[in-house]
Every structure is written in C-alpha cells, then in structure tokens.
Chain A
Amino acid sequence: MTDGDDKLARRYRELAREEPGAALDAAILAASRRPARRASFASRWAAPVSIAAVLVLAFGLTLEMRQEEPGVETSVPAPRREAPPPVQRAEPAEKPKPLARERLAPAEPQPKTAPQAFPAQSAGALKAPAAAREEKVPVEAPREETRAPAADLQRAPAAAPPPASPPAAGAARIAPESLNPAPAARAKSLAAPAAQSPVDAELERIAGLRAQGRDAEADAALEQFRRDHPGYTIPDAMWDRVKPR
C-alpha cells in the first residue's frame, strides 16, 4: 500500500463513523436468538424429490433412446426375434410392388393413431409390416437386414422402394413405438426438466406465478428463495421474470 493509499484510508476513517441505530441492533439480536426455523415438509423434501425425479427421467430417456437407435444397440433385433414371421401369406408373387405400397402407405400415418394403440393391437399392427417385410426380404438374412437396411434395399430395390423404407425398417420397433408414440417430441419434453436444477426449477415456478399475476405468492416465493439461497445470483434474464412488480 502506498503512502497515498494510507492517507486516503485515514481520511476515510475520519469520515466513516456511522453505526446502525439501537433499534436496529435490538431487532437483529432478537432475531438471532430465535431458534432456527425448521424447514417445512415440502421444502425439506423438494430438493431430494426433484433430484430423484430428474434421475428417473434421465434414466428412462436414456433407455428409450437406446431402444430406438437403429442398427447400433443389440436390443434392437430382440423384438424382431420375438415377433415370429406371420403365417406364410399366399400373396401373388407377380404383384409385389403394388402390395408393398398398399401396405406401407397406410402405415405412414400410423404413428398419429398409435397413441391409442394397446399392446394387443400393436401385436396385430406388428403383423402387417412384418408381412410386408416377408415379401421383400430374403428369409435367410433377417438379422443382417435389421443392422443394415440400406444394404437390403440395394439387394431388393424393387420390393422395397425408398419411400417405404422407414416403416419397413421400423417394423421391429413397432411395439415400443405404439406404446410410446412420438419419441422425438417426448424426448424434447423430457430433456427440458432433466436439464433443470432445483434452483432453476424454483425460479421457473416463481416466474410462472408472476406470469399468472399471482404477485403475492411470487413475492413470498422469491423471498423464501432468497432465504434458502442467500449466495445465489439470479441471472438478469430470470430476474426480469421474477422481480417484484
């Protein structure tokens, strides 16, 4: 510290004599003697329950994505093996193309109706594309086909035109999909809460209250948040959403 700094510090000391009032001292000391406020049941369990929920969601999502990843995970061929080839259909061999279109074209909107599908129905649904596959794919190489559908398409281009390939490739996965439709949208909705910390979640809740015009509740929640997290700096963007009106 330089001499100038010392001088400035001395001058400042001459200036700085203010103290809090006696009433303020008394109020703070009285508060300090009160026993620690016990957290309510909800606030005591909020963090562990949130963390558990996030973990369960993340685990479920991971499992789901592993199942749905084609050609990578070993779990993919399993449902295909469980679904035995249906009774040999006596379809006329001379009309493979129109048949494949007939079958596969209605199969495309299936994901939209799949939410209502029950397991029994989905088993039925499994038959149709499996049958279509039966017509297109040589029986002797089913496993290879699931691993590399594109290669099969090259081998049998007439039987499986490119537009029909997504439903055909998804034949082995129909059961899980019909039980859990729209995986991409669901993954998105699950990923959002999974990435949120309990602190963020609480701030979001306060922002929600504020957005609904429940300012009194939002004020109380913000105050509680400040008490629970005295060292946390609320980001500017979030502050704009939660600040007292």
Chain B
Amino acid sequence: MGASDEELMLAYAGGDAGAFEALYAKHKGGLFRFVLRSVKTRGEADEIFQDVWMRAIEARERYRPQAKFATWLYTIAHHRLIDHWRARGLAVASLDDDERPVEEPAAAPDVEPERIAVASQMLERLAAAIAALPLAQREAFLLHQESGLGIAEIARATGTNEEAAKSRLRYAMNKLREAIGDD
C-alpha cells in the first residue's frame, strides 16, 4: 500500500518533488472537472485550476494534515471559486437559492461544445441539468463525485454544516435523476 495523500504532501513539503507529481496525477482530473463544471468556459477553468494548484504549492510549508488532503485541496478550490463568482456579481449568500436560475440550462451547451456534441442525448441532458443546478447544490454534487468526499468533508470544504451539505447533495441528486429519467 502506497503513501497516503497527507504523507505525500508532507514529503513534498520536505523537498520530494516526486511526491507532488503523484498527488497531482491522482487529483488533477477530479479537481479540473469540479472547476470546469463550476464555471462557464474552459479558459476560466484552466485559470482557476492552475491557481488552486499554485496556492497549494505555495502553502506547502504551512500544510498540516489536520484533515484529508482532498478536503484541504477542495477547500482552496472552493475559496477560489467564491472569489470568481463574487467577481461576476454572484452573491455567495444566494448559493442556496433554489429558485434563482444561477446558470440557465440554455447556457449549458456553451460550456463544452465539443463534449456535448459527442455525448448521447441522455448525457447531454445530464450535463445541462448539472449546469442548471444552484451553485451550492452543484458544488456538493461535484465534490461528492469528483473528489469522493463524504458529507462531513463536503461540509468542511464548503464552510457549512453537515445538515446543509447533506440537503444540498440530496436535492442535487434528485434533480439530476429526474433529468436523466431515473426518477
């Protein structure tokens, strides 16, 4: 059994560049998709994704394994995304607003044209439904799917309580199941 993420990060802080490469290889896909589905364009996703890793790199000496590495990494991503949303006039307070069309379904095809083009109709509907979720619900769903975080860790990463995290995830999954006809 290999070293845990936390051990790898500590090894990296101690000067082992290879440890970071292992961490990056493990988490880059999930983090990238988490960011990609939280913003509108791939350009924004690239910028935020790189910024999150840069912050993790710069914080290496201050890293303390008080939680799972993934929780720490996605907490950084969450904060970076909050900055991004705020800069675009989206109030963080309205993250839970279920009524507000945060990202209109019509915007979904613009998110990833090439991906949507090759996807099946059902997957198209799923992608559109994910894009249409309120920010907080979408974030909870993506954290659950992409990082494998549990309810408690999602709550910690997003700075909320477990009940709220659980509720957001449940709402999101119900909506998505409905969207792909699995209801």
**A28 and B127 alpha carbons, distance in the complex (Å):** 28
Interface residues on A, range: 35 or more
Query: B55 to A18, Cβ gap below 8 A?
Result: no
Query: B173 to A8, Cβ gap below 8 A?
Result: yes
Query: A8 to B20, Cβ gap below 8 A?
Result: no
Query: A16 to B76, Cβ gap below 8 A?
Result: no
Query: A8 to B76, Cβ gap below 8 A?
Result: no
Which B residues lie within 8 Å of A25 (CB)?
24, 28
Chain A proximity mask over B85-102: 1 for CB below 8 Å, otherwise 0: 011000111000000000
Query: B126 to A12, Cβ gap below 8 A?
Result: yes
Query: B79 to A231, Cβ gap below 8 A?
Result: yes
| A interface majority secondary structure | helix
- CB interface residues, A 183-224, toward B, < 8 Å: none
**A116 and B165 alpha carbons, distance in the complex (Å):** 61
Interface residues on B, range: 35 or more
Say how far A39's CB is from chain B's closest CB, in angstroms. 9
Chain A proximity mask over B41-76: 1 for CB below 8 Å, otherwise 0: 000001001100111111111000000000010011
Query: B182 to A7, Cβ gap below 8 A?
Result: yes
Q: Is B26 in the interface zone, CB < 8 Å from A?
A: no
Which A residues lie within 8 Å of B53 (CB)?
28, 31-32
Q: A18's contact among B17, B32, B180, by CB below 8 Å, is which?
A: B32
Residues of A that sit less than 8 Å from B by CB:
4-5, 7-9, 11-12, 14-21, 24-25, 27-29, 31-33, 36-37, 226-227, 230-234, 236, 239, 243-244
Residues of B that sit less than 8 Å from A by CB:
12, 17, 20-21, 24, 28-29, 32-33, 36, 46, 49-50, 53-61, 72, 75-76, 79, 82-83, 86-87, 91-93, 112, 115, 119, 122-123, 126-127, 145-146, 159, 173, 176-177, 180, 182-183
